Amino acid sequence: MKLWDKGISVNKKIEDFTVGKDRELDVLLAPFDVLGTMAHIKMLEKIGLLKKDELNVLLEELKTIYATAKDGSFVIDEGVEDVHSQVEFLLTEKLGDIGKKVHSGRSRNDQVLLDLKLFARDRIEEMVQGIEQLFKTLQKKSEEFKDVLIPGYTHLQVAMPSSFGLWFGAFAESLVDDLHLVKAAWNVANQNPLGAAAGYGSSFPLDRTMTTQLLGFDDMNYNVVYAQMGRGKMERTVAFAIASVAGTLSKLAVDGCLFMSQNFGFIKLPDELTTGSSIMPHKKNPDVFELIRGKCNVLQTLPQTIGSVTTNLPTGYFRDLQVIKEYFIPAFDELMDSLAIANFAIENITINKDIITDEKYKLAFTVEEVNRLVLKGMPFRDAYKEVGLKVERGEFEPDYSVNHTHEGSIGNLCNIDIAAKMEQTVKSFEFEKVQLALKELLKA
């Protein structure tokens, strides 16, 4: 069944090629397509295009379809083009001509725009929860091991003293900044495109403010041409946020791989979190970190992938946009899997508490010695030269005490302040508003 069918058969090869993976991916959009349809028909009843009794029977049947979409039993039948067609087919099959009325005033163009925004909004909420959980785990580890010193590196050369408190805490704060980008993506996704129809509006007196409120959107895309232009732009904006989180996870994973190697020996994972070799019986490989790194490196290319589809498309709808689904929809699961497994690995990590006194790290304390001389009154450049000459003569002996007190340093991690930033950012999403709106819609 095709919503646009006018009795002309389409060549099977063309049909298979143009449908692509829509049936497979659209199943994931089904609950959102139903929600959008519920909001749309409530609005149609208000403007007189549906009768009250018609609305009531449609809503009841849509609730049934919604339940199947949520429990995983919803399917798109062979020969049905997409989720929009399947929902309308089910309504018409059950209710007859009443089911044919639900499409008044909309197009599959604004339906898919809406479905993708509702989907993105839902998955962003999950993403924020996953980010918040990893953040808490990292902060906990930062506090637990804040007094354990490790060498810091520049150019992969031993540089200055650092600590596990700084290392864990750095990734926690990185997630806060990532969340600012996620919030920007949420703001773009959380605008209602419904009513744009094919991208040029409708002669029906649609009440777009009503559907905006029913679906819990903060705002709408007012200009109907721009609403259609937003296809691909929303996905790319969300992709930048996904890529930012993926970048943090990838860097964490790279450090994890290095720190687990025998040359570093800073951390360990339990044996059951590692893998072995088919030929080397001693191997305990950090595959978990390597796969996080690989998957997240791929996710960091997502904005460019989406951009390559949308670049130089004129104003209006083009079938090219369908391709974006194949990269955009699965990306959330890839990121959520990486967040969850990173959290699990960090929860179970063991750290080496006796690292910094190793002979090869003693030069990490040269700056500490320079600073001590400066505090005694010696000009910085003279102190720098004196310590440098000791190093050259092989006479430098470190003092392993470290006294860093400024904000964000080894002795003053400011984890409480960073946690406050995270809490404030999470609250700014106002997920409760969306949840309440959709709960009320489903009660109707």
Contact assessment for residue 258 and residue 264, using Cβ atoms and an 8 Å cutoff: yes
Tell me what pLDDT residue 319 has.
87
pLDDT at 152: 96
pLDDT band at 158 (very low <50, low <70, confident <90, very high): very high
pLDDT exceeds 50 at position 365: yes
**pLDDT for the residue 10:** 64
9 falls in which pLDDT band (50, 70, 90)?
A: low
Is the model's pLDDT at 444 over the cut of 80? no
pLDDT at residue number 114: 98
pLDDT of residue 8: 60
Contacts of residue 421, Cβ cutoff 8 Å, sequence gap at least 6: 173, 176
pLDDT in tens, 212-263: 999 999 999 999 999 999 999 999 999 999 999 999 999 999 999 999 999 9
**pLDDT for 33-42, tens place per residue?**
999 999 999 9
16: pLDDT strictly greater than 70: no
CA 182 to each of CA 129, 241, 421, 438: distance values in angstroms, whole numbers, following the listed order: 12, 5, 14, 21
| Residues identified as active-site | 155, 277
CA 64 – CA 68 distance, rounded (Å): 7
Location of each CATH 1.10.275.10 domain in the chain: 12-101
77-124 pLDDT, tens digit each: 988 889 999 999 999 999 999 999 999 999 999 999 999 999 999 999
Residues 277-325: pLDDT tens digits?
A: 778 888 888 899 999 999 999 999 999 999 999 999 999 998 889 999 9
CATH class of 12-101: mainly alpha
Q: What's the pLDDT at 239? A: 98
CA distance 178 to 135: 11
d(CA 103, CA 125) in angstroms, rounded, equals 29
* Residue 358 confidence (pLDDT): 94
Kindly report, as residue ranges, where domains of CATH 1.20.200.10 are found in the chain: 119-145+164-196+229-356+415-430
CA-CA distance, 21 to 27, in Å (whole number)? 10
Mean pLDDT of 150-176: 97
- Whether residue 36 contacts residue 194, with contact meaning beta carbons closer than 8 Å, is answered with yes
pLDDT value at position 336?
98
Buried/exposed code over 135-158 (b: 16+ C-beta within 10 A; e: otherwise): bebbbebbeebbebbbbeeeeeeb
For the record, the structure tokens of 11 come out as: 């060549």
Residues of the chain with pLDDT > 70, as a percent, come to 95
pLDDT at residue number 17: 59
- The residue assigned the tokens 């029906």 is 204
Q: Which of 86, 95, 46, 92 is nearest to 68 (CA)?
A: 86
Residue 279: per-residue pLDDT: 87
Instruction: Report the mean per-residue pLDDT for the chain.
Output: 94
Instruction: Tell me whether strands 219-220 and 191-192 are parallel, antiparallel or unpaired.
Output: parallel
Confidence tier at 187 by pLDDT (50, 70, 90): very high
Please give the CATH superfamily to which domain 119-145+164-196+229-356+415-430 belongs: Fumarase/aspartase (Central domain) (1.20.200.10)
Write out the DSSP string of 311-360.
TTPPSS--GGGHHHHHHHHHHHHHHHHHHHHHHHHHHT-EE-S--TTSGG
pLDDT band per the 50, 70, 90 thresholds, residue 4: very low
For 371-428, the pLDDT digits (tens) are: 999 999 999 999 999 999 999 999 999 999 999 999 999 999 999 999 999 999 999 9
Query: What is the model's pLDDT at position 34?
Result: 98
